[in-house]
Structure 1
Amino acid sequence: LDEKQIPKRFNITGKDRGSVEDKRKKEREERKQKELQEKYEKWNKGLYQLKRRTEQLDEMARVVKENFARHADDEAMNEHLKNVVYEKDPMFQYVKKKEEKARQLFAVYPKYKGSWPPNRFNIAPGYRWDGVNRSNGFEDKIVLIMNRKKAQKVTQFES
């Protein structure tokens, strides 16, 4: 007999036992749901944080394998000490400028260099804002009213 010709069987409670195709479909759905769950678990933990954590663990594993005694010819330690920057170092400002220039080369979003009128979020013109104030003055009025109230309270308190 073909699967479609097999009559449906029910157990004592009256529930459908389910065909082979139903079981396969249910397994597929469960597998898909499990994959989605694993994917969202990764996202919820933060992909960048997971990457940083694995890098830290790799670094720790590398350090564990190194010898405890350090010598002057230890390349890894010398490289690490070269990369450490101290604030009291006379070259500190130069190194910071150099790093800033390197960051600017890889900067994705433009930065505004000049001065701009203050805004609610102190966002510099560039990526999110072009520097044009398009407000209707509502926020300025609110700030003015709040400042007046504070000034009145101070004058009432003093007199």
Structure 2
Amino acid sequence: MSRAEYLQKYLTKDDSTKKKAKKRKRKDTGVIIADDDVLGWNNNKEDGDEDDPVTIGEMTKAFRRTTKSNWTINPENPEDQPAIVEEDGGRPTTIQKMSSGAHAGLQTAAQVAAQMERQRKAEAARFAAEDPETSGRGQETIYRDASGRIINVAMARAEARKKLEEEEAKQRKLEEHLKGDVQLVQKAERKKELEDAKYAPMARYADDTELNEELKERDRWNDPAMAFLSNKKKGVSKTGRPLYQGAAPPNRYGILPGHRWDGVDRGNGWEKKWFQAQNNRKNRAQIEHDMEIDV
């Protein structure tokens, strides 16, 4: 094998058919640094050399013609301007004021109070001097709802008061409906008795006919004299409805069942236990009294 064949076999060689990669073109940002030393860090020349020539930039004709500043300062309120106080040397000193009217710095409480009072009086005088239409002084407050409509406060309060009275009347009416007819009649009778008591004498004697008739007409449960009454009461209740003519279990209120009652006690037995407890208490008191006497 010759040297040329050996080199051709073992040495690497770029393939002539290999495609070249395309370079991506990036968009130019447009930023060009014309001077690398913008801030002047590379300026090794010492500043303040008196021998260097002084360079003065040329002014334009328009700039030379301008002799007056175009800046304007809004006029301030004289009350808001800092106070100027002259010291002993005659040189004026400016004192800063806070929003409350007090001077900034270390001061006594009396000084701060006086300065704030002075500020308050000045604001009140300035407000009084303004036009009422501009300041809104004396104007009636306008109330609006969530939709922006104007609300008449007096009318709204009257409607709320009327609605509350209707609710109270409805509640009282409901409570009256929950009461029984006998309770309503008794309430009316008590009211009539109170009205009659205005004209009744203060002293009631044993020969008072009206009082005696009232006591005779009053029913008492378990009264033994009821059996000796010659005139039986009519079988009509206070409400004008007929009563049950047979035997009926007693109750605390002395109300007899109506004439349509079938004789079946549908209660839970509480009235019976209540009367039994009352009788047991009376019997115990009687037994204790008898034992004390026997001893």
Common topology (TM > 0.5): no
Q: TM-score range by the shorter chain?
A: 0.3 to 0.5
TM-score by length of 2: 0.24
Q: Which has the higher helix share?
A: 1
Bigger Rg, structure 1 or 2: 2
Q: Which structure is higher in RCO with an 8 Å CA cutoff and minimum separation 6?
A: 1
| Structure with more of its chain in strand, by fraction | 2
